[in-house]
Amino acid sequence: MADLRCPMCGKPNPADSEACKYCGARLKPVHAGDSKPPAAAPKSGPEEADWMSDLRGDMMRNRPKTSMLPPEPPAPPPPSDKWLSKIDARGGKESKPAAPASKQKATREPAPVPPPKKAAEPSEDWLSKIRPHARKESPLIPPSASPPAQSAPVPGAAAEPPEWLSKVRNQTSADRPPAAPEEDKGAEEPIWLKRLRARRTQDELAPAAPPQPEAEPAAPGELPEWLSRIREKTSEDTGQIDADDQSLFSSPLSPATPAPPPQTSDSPWGIAAPPQEPRTVEPATPQEPQGAVPDWLKYASEGNRQSAVEPPLGSTDWMGGIASALEQTPPTPTAKPGEPPGRPSTGRLLDAQDSAEAKKGGSLRSAGLESAPPAPPIQPFSQTPIPQVPGDTPPTLETDWDFPSEAMPDFPLGQPAGDFTFPSISGAFNAGTEPEVSPAGEGEIPDWLVDIKKDGAPPAPSPQPGSPAAAPDINELLRADTLPEWMQRKGAAAPGGKEAGPGAAATTPDNLEQGELPRWLEAMRPIQSVTMPTEDEERVESVGPLAGLRGVLSAEPVVAIPRRPAILAGNIDASPAQLTLTETLRRLLIEPEVRASRKPVRAMLLMPLLRKAMSAVLILAIIFPFFGGSLFSNSGYQPEANKKAGLLVGELPADRPVLVAFEYDASAAPEIETGASALLEHLAQRGIQVAFISSQPNGTMLGEGLRLLNEEQGIGMPPLIANFGYVPGGAGGLRRLAGNLRETVNGSNVDWTQGSLAAVNSLSDFSMILVLAASPQSVRDWVEQVHTTAPNTPIVAMVSAASDALVFPYTEGSKPAIWGLVAGYAGAQAYRAAFLPATLATSGVAAMRWQSFAGGTLAILITLVAGVIGSLALGRFRKPRKVGE
């Protein structure tokens, strides 16, 4: 047996099932005359019209698959004929806001059907009573044409219009605010009629309104009896009402509406209609029949011509059809206590539905659904959804009543796609290509309702050709040449009656080609670097008690699961020049790392070995004299400055002290003290007194130690007459020292009366300044700050070998700043050999040190030469290649 697939959920069901066992939707369509209630319909009365069941089922089938509505359980047969209440209840359900996708599963549980609102309970089969009454009054409709389901006679229907009309009038008066000015006019004039006339006139005079349909003034003889009486009664007070209604019923939305003329020939009423008020206030007077079409059908046919420019909901004129029917319905629901005074009684019947459907943007009632007779399902266009036009600005709908805009949005244009799924009326509604405005009081009953009447209602008269009430064929209405352009596109976007969802709205039309972005614009396009993850319904739980189950909801949202973003690097458009620069940057960033990673291989193996080899070579060269080796002469090359230093010391006066400056630290003491010892020994030979000073904190301490050590070793040291100590301030301190010697060294406990020091008042009183410096900067400070102040005091420097090249220029010139220079260990040895030959060691430790120094120098020289040759052989001196070569 083949399964039936549910049109709602798509799941298979047994072939003999009437309703889907999963979602409860009706599986088989209900045709005219079928008394079975729709399975998916909510509770309704036993006398519910089949056409409504079909319509409801059709709507359920047309509902998008992703609808958030819970499946409706199979409902028992309707207990009563309160189909309006069912619509109300259903509308309430459909107006629920769409649940989020994450809660979709949760909302699939069968939801209880909300009970119909109290306002709709007293409704009876009043609509069914309308048709016999209309047919009875219309000569074009045979009495036998009434539908079987609504063939129950309405007692006293022909004679009741004045009664129920008076009830409506009384009720309207009761609903009106006590401060309303129209109540003062007495009960002679029905207020709803005033509004109706004012609205009628306003609609007729609307400049933007399309031309009126073929609404000819009804002949008095063609009007129903009840309507004729109303007309006769109301025509007497036309002038008074016109003047009052303009001020009473002028809509705030149309304040600039000019005052209508007292009487308009186009109006079927023959009087000017007041500004439109909330639609249900006035029981819309049925328009006089045109031809053989009854009133209610005429409204429907005229509603068919309602264009997209002015949808029926915005104008709310379609309610006029219902109102006209209500005029023939004896009882009307009573007003709720808390209802606003502006809301009419008829509106209370549809109050819940209005509010619910108004939120959705859809308007079933705008299509005249409430007054629609039973009709078979319309299969050809029932699947056709309302094409949505995202982005298209719908024509402005001038709501002509004072309802809040948020409570009654425009219909249907401007509604987001997917929020509203139109029932089978969509095709007929869309067929209205010519914008027309129905007269006040006329219900905008669309074509589908006409077709329903024509097909499902047995007494539906055959409309005359050319009559506005003649409902065109739906296929004719859906022709491509009759549809507006925007509707054709949408129709092409959703062929086959598919759902008009967002995806359908985004479909590219056939007559448009895919645009190609220019490169510069494409480069500015944002790159979709992250693709949003989707819920994997087939995910298998791996841990916990639900391990192994599929489709288990994850504990955390999908978007929160850490994952590597999918970078769409292919979208990056780069020119060849940019790629070249990118490659260069990559090499600059990566290749040094590669080289650095290669370097430790050489460094860890070669550098320690090379350092140990060089250390071994130097140590062997230094300790070579211990084994009796003597390769070098004790006397070396004596520079001119070295010679001048010895000559100067040899010529110094013995009665003037020499100032010795110790400008070195302990690390340079082994080198400096070798030359210092030679110079101090030479001064001692001359019997010259010395005074110590230093611009470094530990300078004089080293000088004291040197002198004491030499004295202990029997080396002659000059007598120390004063230790000036540390002179702070660097160059500034030396400048101050050169300017005021005694004041600068005042705090060093110097006895200025001791020996030759008594004659010393400044630096010029010293016979010589001996600077023992390890750095050229110290010598320069003494030259720049002291020599410029005391140029007559010669300066002799003993510096390290490293400072020789930088200090030597001061010894050149006709007036050298440094008179003599002794540099390094070699210079000290040369000085000793030249001026202290008696102390020159030819054996012992001192002679061995000189041999060690010479041997070490030779070893360094050989090592340097070997290194240069090896580097040349290995190509280490080759010019490194540039990046990119």
Binding footprint of other proteins on the chain (CB under 8 A): 608, 611-612, 615, 618-619, 622-623, 626, 665-668, 670-671, 674, 697-698, 701, 708, 712, 725-726, 728, 730-732, 735, 746-749, 780-781, 783-785, 787-788, 800-806, 809-810, 812-817, 823-826, 845, 848-849, 852-853, 856-857, 860
Which contiguous run of DSSP H or E holds residue 721?
A: strand 720-726
Could you give the CA distance from residue 393 to residue 679 in angstroms, rounded to a whole number? 107
Shortest spacing between CB 761 and other proteins, in angstroms: 19
Shortest spacing between CB 768 and other proteins, in angstroms: 18
CA pseudo-torsion sign 277, 278, 281, 284: positive
Sorted by sequence, the CB contacts under 8 Å of residue 739 that are 6+ apart come out as: 789
HSE-CB for 717 with a 13 A CA cutoff: 22
Angstrom distances, CA of residue 671 to CA of 309, 658, 660, 798: 108, 22, 17, 10
Q: Which of 23, 21, 19, 20 is nearest to 38 (CA)?
A: 19
Shortest spacing between CB 595 and other proteins, in angstroms: 23
Shortest spacing between CB 860 and other proteins, in angstroms: 6
Shortest spacing between CB 566 and other proteins, in angstroms: 42
Sorted by sequence, the CB contacts under 8 Å of residue 582 that are 6+ apart come out as: 574
Nearer to other proteins, 350 or 693 (CB): 693
Nearer to other proteins, 253 or 847 (CB): 847
Nearer to other proteins, 111 or 802 (CB): 802
Could you give the CA distance from residue 555 to residue 558 in angstroms, rounded to a whole number? 9
Take residue 712 and report the two structure tokens written for it.
Answer: 């202990």
Residue 436 DSSP label: -
Shortest spacing between CB 605 and other proteins, in angstroms: 14
Could you give the CA distance from residue 789 to residue 350 in angstroms, rounded to a whole number? 115
Take residue 420 and report the two structure tokens written for it.
Answer: 């509203």
647 within 8 A of 639, measured Cβ to Cβ: no
Parallel, antiparallel, or unpaired for β 690-694 and 4-5? unpaired
Which amino acid makes up residue 597?
A: S
Nearer to other proteins, 581 or 607 (CB): 607
Nearer to other proteins, 460 or 676 (CB): 676
- CA 74-78-83 angle, to 5 degrees, is 115
SS3 799: strand
Nearer to other proteins, 619 or 758 (CB): 619
Shortest spacing between CB 516 and other proteins, in angstroms: 36
Shortest spacing between CB 735 and other proteins, in angstroms: 5
Nearer to other proteins, 119 or 786 (CB): 786
Q: Which of 481, 474, 451, 251 is nearest to 368 (CA)?
A: 451
Strand intervals (E) in 239-281? none
Nearer to other proteins, 289 or 703 (CB): 703
Shortest spacing between CB 816 and other proteins, in angstroms: 8
Which contiguous run of DSSP H or E holds residue 197?
A: helix 191-205
Residue 742 DSSP label: H
Shortest spacing between CB 813 and other proteins, in angstroms: 3
Could you give the CA distance from residue 691 to residue 694 in angstroms, rounded to a whole number? 10
Write the DSSP assignment of 241-265 as a string of letters.
Answer: HHHHHHHHS--TT-TTPPPPPS--S
Nearer to other proteins, 554 or 788 (CB): 788
Nearer to other proteins, 530 or 862 (CB): 862
Which amino acid makes up residue 83?
A: W
Nearer to other proteins, 345 or 674 (CB): 674
681 within 8 A of 841, measured Cβ to Cβ: no
CA pseudo-torsion sign 334, 339, 340, 346: negative
Take residue 679 and report the two structure tokens written for it.
Answer: 């110079």
Shortest spacing between CB 747 and other proteins, in angstroms: 3
Nearer to other proteins, 462 or 788 (CB): 788
Shortest spacing between CB 861 and other proteins, in angstroms: 9
Shortest spacing between CB 815 and other proteins, in angstroms: 7
SS3 194: helix
Please state the φ and ψ torsions of residue 339, each to the nearest 5 degrees. Answer: -75, 145
Nearer to other proteins, 175 or 804 (CB): 804
- As a whole number of angstroms, the longest Cα–Cα distance in the chain is 162
Compute CA 497 distance to the chain's CA centroid, rounded to the nearest angstrom. 36
Could you give the CA distance from residue 655 to residue 719 in angstroms, rounded to a whole number? 12
300 within 8 A of 427, measured Cβ to Cβ: no
Shortest spacing between CB 728 and other proteins, in angstroms: 5
Nearer to other proteins, 81 or 781 (CB): 781
Shortest spacing between CB 673 and other proteins, in angstroms: 9
Crossing angle of the two packed helices 295-304 and 126-137, in degrees rounded to 10: 100
| Ramachandran bin of 21, using left for φ above 0, alpha for ψ from -120 to 50, beta for the remaining angles | alpha
Shortest spacing between CB 587 and other proteins, in angstroms: 22
Nearer to other proteins, 361 or 856 (CB): 856
Shortest spacing between CB 758 and other proteins, in angstroms: 21
314 within 8 A of 411, measured Cβ to Cβ: yes
Q: How many CB atoms lie within 10 A of CB 147?
A: 23
Shortest spacing between CB 683 and other proteins, in angstroms: 22
Nearer to other proteins, 488 or 630 (CB): 630
Nearer to other proteins, 239 or 697 (CB): 697
For residues 648-664, one letter each, b for 16 or more C-beta atoms within 10 angstroms of the residue's C-beta and e for the rest, the string is bbeebeeebbbbbbbbb
Could you give the CA distance from residue 148 to residue 34 in angstroms, rounded to a whole number? 11
Nearer to other proteins, 405 or 746 (CB): 746
Helices then strands, counting H and E runs in the chain, come out as 29, 8
CA pseudo-torsion sign 336, 340, 341, 344: negative
